[in-house]
Amino acid sequence: MSEDATARARETAEAVYRAESRRVFATLIRLLGDFDLAEEALHDAFRAALEQWPRDGVPANPRAWLVSAGRFKAIDGIRRRARFVAIEDVAEQVEAVVDDAPPWDDEGIEDDRMRLVFTCCHPALSPDAQVALTLREVCGLTTEEIAQAFLSTAPTLAQRIVRAKAKIRDARIPYQVPTPAELPERLDSVLRVVYLVFNEGYSASSGESLTRVDLSSEAIRLGRLLVELLPEPEAIGLLALMLLQESRRAARTSPAGELVLLADQDRSLWNRDQIAEGSALVERALGSRRFGPYALQAAIAAVHAEAASADATDWGEIVGLYDVLLRAEPSPVVELNRAVAVAMRDGPAAGLGLIDAILARGDLQDYRLAHAAQADLCRRLGRTAQARAAYERAVALTRQEPERRFLERRLAELPD
């Protein structure tokens, strides 16, 4: 083979690795029955590809070649270790690996990715572990990258992942897509993980910067994967919600990194492609008539996205959607958001009455946005003293720098 062809084969191997490694990995877990064995086999297979493809040419179906190579490497490994264990055990292990269905049908490979997602998000794992494992095993992020995203240390993250994998093995968490009867609860758990990853990227809960782009794009990629493989209305709703929120990213912060509220955002900065895609997905989810909280939140985001300005927004429609959302998923945070929409529709006094009632009930006392919303409505009604007290409560509760600066600016702007 010429030098050119060798270089091309190497490039192909590397491109295949970037595009296919997670798919191949998901299938190897099914064939080998173990995350660590699969990881090892995956690396062995790619090492073999880098050696052989430049010499023998790129195989017709690189993905099938890799799965097959990974499987043989794993069998080799088991046989090599066999010198130390009883011969029946080896026979059993090798048989388990060899006996399985042929790995090279593409449909099966897609099922394997779903198996991997559902296993990583199994509710028997702690929520933290679900997030870490999904980012590591499904998205292929390194532990260093995950640690950085969650302001943690790599050893802590690595430990969490090791423990989660041990639980999968020891508690016999199966590598399968749940049955239709289990699906609603299990899908909830997957969607929650994806949305958590998105939110950590979109509105970092602490730290210097307001957003972390990488996590949001990973979450959107995961959302697309889910919709592609399991087009349930709530999966579609979640993807729509993420796209519609993401569409405002450029407008959410000023060039100096300051927070810009929805009403004050330069709407020409909103990403029209994401809005178009998100809105179409909302229609698809709502059309199914089996929609839930994600599709409803996406529908609310779509109403905002379609308005030319805050004043031109159909606030009546938004209040109506919040009413439906409250019935689907009663929560004080949803009530708070509804109250803000009522303030936009009927004036600040109407909204403030609702917020005062929520806080008087003792709900959301520790929720910074409840106090910030109360402060804003008091300010607009000219109740300066009350506004000041509420802004101060909000400042005391926020852990995020740009948000703190925003609230302190508002506080400073209040008349004496």
Partner 1 sequence: MKFLCLLCAEKVMEQMPEVDAAKHFEDYREFTAAIRESGHFVGCNRLLPPPAATTVRVRQGKVSTTDGPYVETKEQLGGYYVIEAKDLDEAIQVAARIPGAWIGCVEVRPIAEDEPTLRALGTPR
Q: Are 51 and 76 in contact, with CB atoms under 8 Å apart? A: no
CA distance 257 to 313: 26
User: Do 134 and 114 touch, CB atoms closer than 8 A?
Assistant: no
**Helices 233-246 and 272-287 sit at what angle, rounded to 10 degrees?**
160
Q: Interface with partner 1 includes 99 (CB under 8 A)?
A: no
Can you tell me the distance from the alpha carbon of 376 to that of 388, in angstroms, rounded to the nearest whole number?
A: 10
Least distance in angstroms from the C-beta of 123 to partner 1:
9
Q: CB-wise, 178 or 348, nearer to partner 1?
A: 178
The residue (of 125 and 305) whose beta carbon lies closer to partner 1 is 125
In DSSP terms, 207 is beta-bridged to 400
Region of residue 330 (left: phi > 0; alpha: psi -120 to 50; beta: else) = beta
Q: Which residues partner with 400 through β-bridges?
A: 207
In the bound complex, what is the minimum distance in angstroms from residue 180's beta carbon to partner 1? 13
Contact status: 62 vs partner 1 (CB under 8 A): no
Q: State yes or no: residue 124 binds partner 1 (CB under 8 A).
A: yes
Burial group, residue 148, by CB count within 10 angstroms (0-12, 13-18, 19+): middle
For partner 1, give the closer residue by CB, 66 or 173.
Answer: 173
Q: How far is the CB of 234 from partner 1 (least distance, A)?
A: 21
Query: Which of these, 172, 73, 44, lies nearest to 119 by C-alpha position?
Result: 172
The CB-of-326 to partner 1 minimum distance in angstroms stands at 28
DSSP string, 84-105: GS-HHHHHHHHHHHHSSPPS--
Single residue of 176, 209, 254, 331 touching partner 1 by CB under 8 A: 176
Q: Rounded to the nearest whole angstrom, what is the least distance from the CB of residue 92 to partner 1 in the complex?
A: 11
Q: Is 92 in the site for partner 1 (CB under 8 A)?
A: no
Provide the minimum distance between the beta carbon of 39 and partner 1 in the complex, in angstroms, as a whole number. Answer: 21
Tell me whether residue 15 or residue 171 sits nearer to partner 1 (CB atom): 171
In the complex with partner 1, the residue whose CB is nearer, 95 or 228, is 95
Question: Looking at 139-147, 165-173, 328-336, 347-355, which segment touches partner 1 (CB under 8 A)?
Answer: 165-173
Radius of gyration of the chain (CA): 26
- Residue whose entry in the numeric block shows the structure tokens 């506080």: 411
Query: Distance between CA 408 and CA 404 in Å, rounded?
Result: 6
| Cα 168 from chain centre | 21
Q: Does 170 bind partner 1 (CB under 8 A)?
A: yes
Element (H, E) at 193: helix 183-202
Please report, as residue ranges, which positions from 179 to 198 form the binding site for partner 1 (by CB under 8 A): 182
Q: How far is the CB of 213 from partner 1 (least distance, A)?
A: 36
The nearer residue to partner 1, 192 or 267, going by C-beta atoms, is 192
**b (16+ CB within 10 A) / e for 348-387:** beebbebbeebbeeebbeebbbbbbbbbbbbbebebeebb
Asked if residue 172 binds partner 1 (CB under 8 A), the reply is yes
Separation of alpha carbons 136 and 154, rounded Å: 12
Cα 171 to Cα 122, 140, 148, 167, 168: the distances in Å are 12, 24, 30, 5, 6
By CB under 8 A, residue 80 contacts partner 1: no
Q: What is the pattern of x (binds partner 1, CB under 8 A) and - over residues 32-61?
A: ------------------------------
Phi, psi torsion values for 2, nearest 5 degrees? -70, 165
Binder among 54, 103, 178, 292 for partner 1 (CB under 8 A)? 178
Interatomic CA distance for residues 281 and 298, integer angstroms: 9
Minimum CB distance to partner 1, residue 4 (Å): 51
Residue placing its CB nearer to partner 1 in the complex, 173 or 390: 173
Please report the sign of the dihedral spanned by the C-alpha atoms of residue 159, residue 163, residue 166, residue 168.
negative
Kindly state the tokens that stand for 333: 């945070």
Q: Which is nearer to partner 1, 6 or 176 (CB)?
A: 176
Q: How many residues sit close enough to partner 1 to count as binding (CB under 8 A)?
A: 10
- Taking the complex as a whole, the smallest distance from the CB of residue 174 to partner 1 amounts, in Å, to 4
Member of 57, 155, 174, 207 binding partner 1 (CB under 8 A): 174
CB of 124 to partner 1, least distance (A): 6
- Residue 173 binds to partner 1 (criterion: CB under 8 A): yes
| Rounded least distance, CB 33 to partner 1, Å | 11
Residues lying near partner 1 in the complex (CB under 8 A): 122, 124, 170-174, 176, 178, 182
